[in-house]
Amino acid sequence: MTDDAGTAPPGGDGRGRVLVVDDDAAIRRSLGRALRLRGFTVGEADGGAAALGLLAGPTAPDVLVLDISMPGIDGIEVCRTLRAGGNDLPVLVLSALDEVADRVAGLQAGADDYLVKPFALEELVLRLGALLRRRPPRPDDQVRACGLVLDPAARTAARDGDPLDLTRREFELLETLARNTGIVLTRDQLLDRVWGYDFEVRTDAVDTFVSYLRRKLEAGGRPRILHTVRGVGFVLRPGDSGGSGT
């Protein structure tokens, strides 16, 4: 992924696909790095024209982080163009302008949320999570890994063609692991991505739900695919036969 105009986010993994649009390369790099560390897939565009070009392409993001003050086609015009074309992509506008009139202008143009610079990164992450939760999954956004097929739109899951009867939380945990196949996720990462910022939840909740998932995934003596990496966390990958091992 380059640091200048026009990198689309590759599809289908992590917490969601974010397109960061800002004419300041340093801000794009900083936001992109921080969001990737928190599990997002990030694309970048250096202005409104580049953003609209990417949004018209085959790989669409799940949410747009858009600077409002850019030369040429600014953030307001990008929002208006999207909404005029019937595109309901969630848009979070970033701006150094803190006047009520500026915020109103951004929201009237079609932005879903507005964040004033400078801002805390964790607030941006929370707001992005809220926007992504409101957006229904795309019908074709199936997740396939280790013999699993998960359909986030229908909230269904199967292993080797056999349906899995999962609770909402079990499904979200399995989806998160499946979207990061082969990557070890810590308990804190799973708490953040599955439970969100619910400080009532303890880290042992992850172990409890991993145990529930394993019983269902390994029913009938199927091989273990959900592994514990001791002292680190959990990972989904092909592995032990007969449901044994870590």
CATH number assigned to the domain comprising residue 38: 3.40.50.2300
- Which token pair is 173? 């945990």
Q: Please state the φ and ψ torsions of residue 99, each to the nearest 5 degrees.
A: -75, 145
Same domain, 164 and 79: no
Same domain, 147 and 125: no
Of 134, 167, 189, at which residue does a domain stop? 134
List all residues 6 or more positions away from 198 whose beta carbon is below 8 Å from its beta carbon: none
For 68-109, what is each residue's pLDDT tens digit? 888 889 889 999 998 988 888 899 998 887 777 777 888 888
Same domain, 109 and 21: yes
6 assigned to some structural domain: no
Q: Rounded to whole angstroms, what are the CA distances from 61 to 35, 135, 138?
A: 14, 12, 11
DSSP letter string, 176-214 = HHHTTTT--EEHHHHIIIII-S-TT--THHHHHHHHHHH
- Which token pair is 139? 């019908």
**Range of 60's domain?**
17-134
Same domain, 117 and 25: yes
Whole-model pTM over 0.95? no
Q: How far apart are CA 86 and CA 235, in angstroms?
A: 39
Query: For the domain that residue 217 is a member of, what is the CATH number?
Result: 1.10.10.10
Same domain, 114 and 156: no
193 assigned to some structural domain: yes
Q: How far apart are CA 194 and CA 179, in angstroms?
A: 12
122 assigned to some structural domain: yes
Of 110, 134, 158, at which residue does a domain stop? 134
Domain count, the chain: 2
192 pLDDT tier (thresholds 50, 70, 90):
confident
54 assigned to some structural domain: yes
For 124-166, what is each residue's pLDDT tens digit? 988 898 888 776 656 557 888 899 999 887 889 999 999 999 9
